Amino acid sequence: MTEQTLKPNDILTKAEALRGTLSTSFRDEIVKSLYNEAENIARRAVKTAQDKKYDFDQKIDRLITSPIVGLPIMLILLGVVIWLTVSGANVASEVIADLLFGIGDWGRALFNQIGIPWWITGFIWDGVYLSLAWVVSVMLPPMAIFFPAFTFLEDLGYLPRVAFNLDWLFKKAGAHGKQSLTMAMGFGCNAAGVVATRVIDSPRERLIAILTNNFVPCNGRFPTLIMLATVFVAASFPPALTSFIAAGTVVGVVLIGIAFTFLMSWLLSRTLLKGEASAFTLELPPYRRPNIARILYTSIIDRTIFVLWRAMQTAAPAGAIIWILANITVGDSNLARLIADWLNPFGLLLGLDGVILLAYIIAIPANEIVVPTMMMVYMGAGMMIDGPGTSAGIYSLLVDGNGWTILTAVNLMLFALLHNPCATTIITIYKETKSLKWATVSVVITLGTAFLVTFLTASIARLMGWV
């Protein structure tokens, strides 16, 4: 037999020669025969009863993708999940904060008792530990509620339908329909949203999803938005309506963020990330009963703990820096105050002030500590604090004591929505894209947008004489 005497090289040459004789669609034929074989096996092994479940699924599908019912369902579900997260987290946050701050007080007392110098005690307990405690107590509860709720909808089979419903809009912006899912994930945490973009297989569209994820506010930014909405917007309404007006304001800010997501996706797909919409294929799985154990596992271990751990790594050094800035004094004011005064002209130009900018610079590891840092500088305290307990107290501190106007409040909301990603998210973007360039771009475009928008609103407000 001649075949037996063939050497490997001869076989390769022969294969090379034969390749030219293949029809162009031979790959299609291979896949087709694989599928035929699989179908044969399935036909023998699987019995399908023409079931009612199929009809039921179809009815639900028709309903949630219909124009009249589908869109409201999406908005209501989004509202419910956010409301659950915010209100449920409030209680849990307080419990955790009491516990952790209690440990802090105990540690401080212990250190004082055994005669450790005040600056070591302060650095460790009022700086590093306080920042960690703050981040954990503010960050953990909302994530522990949001992520299971999100995973529940995902497991149920509802989320792919959302991507299906909204794909047309994303297509117009040159992006991928699955970006709606990563965007929704961003409400829980932008870093988790960035990781979630792995479901988008086109690199170009995935980058768009990564770079614009920060325009939806994560729940670390909700406290800032809620505080401002309660103190400045809702205060002029009857007390009974306060919480609704505050919630409505936050929803309005969220919608502005979504508008910016589309706008920036559209701009990116026409400039930096040029290209046409690529292959969009999306499987709409049958509805199934969610598996609670798996939901808890993936949402708590994979998402919550993962994000929390990264946040804690960056929050500890930030706490140290915040404490140092607040406790080194030059003349009769501390470093924080001096830097804030130096930043003030630029802050005022943007309709903000120096303290806000300082808070955003040193609180880059986690947005949760922006408000306590601001309060610390405004009240001249030596560590991060909660501020006055009532909204009237906060109002008089900010407006009467520190020259805030309604413009400051509005622009801070816009800045909180649009500014650069937190350090955790930036690191995640770097790890996901493996590129310093795209991590930098993500900071430049968000910060640029934030500066531009706040500068414009401030200038317009001043020109029209509103403030």
Partner 1 sequence: MSLWGWLLVLLVVGIFIPRYGFLALYRDWRSAREREQVEDALKHLLDREQSGRHASPESLAGTLDLPRVKVTHLIADMESQGLLETRGAQLHLTAEGERWAIHVVRAHRLWERYLVDEARMPLNQVHSEAQRREHFFTDAQLDHLDAALGHPTVDPHGDPIPTREGKMASVKSLPITAWHSEGPVRIVHIEDEPAIAYEQILAAGLRLGQVIRIIERTPQRLVLSDGETEYRLAPTVAANVSITPLPESEIARANAVPLATLTQDQRGEIVSLDDAVQGFTRRRFLDLGLTPGTVIYPELGNFFGDPRAYRVRGTLIALRKDQAAQIWVKPV
Residues that bind partner 1 (CB under 8 A): 19-20, 24-25, 27-28, 31-32, 35, 39, 58, 61-62, 65-67, 70-71, 164-165, 167-169, 171, 177, 202, 204, 274-286
**Residue written as tokens 């325009």?**
215
The H or E element spanning position 158 is: helix 158-172
Cα-flanking dihedrals φ and ψ of residue 330, to 5°?
-120, 120
User: 65 or 121, CB closer to partner 1?
Assistant: 65
Q: Enumerate residues 6+ apart whose C-beta is below 8 A from 99.
A: none
User: Smallest gap, in angstroms, from Cβ of residue 373 to partner 1?
Assistant: 41
Q: Which is closer to partner 1, CB of 57 or CB of 302? A: 57
Distance CA 86, CA 71 (A): 23
Secondary structure of residue 403 in the 3-state scheme: coil
Please report, to the nearest 10 degrees, the dihedral formed by the alpha carbons of residues 57, 58, 63, 64 taken in order. Answer: 60
CB of 181 to partner 1, least distance (A): 13
Question: Residue 75 Cβ, how far from partner 1 at the closest point, in Å?
Answer: 14
Which one, 265 or 408, has the nearer CB to partner 1?
Answer: 265
CB of 45 to partner 1, least distance (A): 14
Q: How far apart are the first and last CA of the chain?
A: 96
Long-range residue pairs from 95-104, CB within 8 A, at least 24 positions apart, any chain? 96/136, 96/137, 96/140, 96/141, 97/133, 97/134, 97/137, 97/138, 100/133, 100/136, 100/137, 101/130, 101/133, 103/133, 104/129, 104/130, 104/133
User: CB of residue 288 vs partner 1: minimum separation in angstroms?
Assistant: 13
Between CA 269 and CA 173 the distance in angstroms is 7
- Residue 386 and residue 371: Cα distance in Å, rounded? 8
Q: Which is nearer to partner 1, 87 or 278 (CB)?
A: 278
Rounded Cα gap, residues 466 and 112, in angstroms: 52
Q: How many whole angstroms separate alpha carbon 272 and alpha carbon 266?
A: 11
CB of 283 to partner 1, least distance (A): 6
Nearer to partner 1 by Cβ, of 103 and 282: the residue is 282
Identity of the residue, 31 or 41, whose beta carbon is nearer to partner 1 in the bound complex: 31
Give CA 94 to chain center in angstroms.
Answer: 22
CA distance 342 to 349: 13
Contact between residue 220 and residue 138 where contact means Cβ atoms under 8 Å apart: yes
CB of 215 to partner 1, least distance (A): 22
Q: How far is the CB of 47 from partner 1 (least distance, A)?
A: 13
User: 33 or 390: whose CB is closer to partner 1?
Assistant: 33
Q: Which is nearer to partner 1, 173 or 414 (CB)?
A: 173
Q: What is the DSSP letter of 333?
A: E
Residue 200 beta carbon to partner 1: minimum distance, rounded to whole angstroms:
13
Number of Cβ within a 10 Å radius of residue 10? 12
Provide the minimum distance between the beta carbon of 141 and partner 1 in the complex, in angstroms, as a whole number: 36
C-beta closer to partner 1: residue 175 or 450: 175
- Cβ closest to partner 1, residue 19 vs residue 289: 19
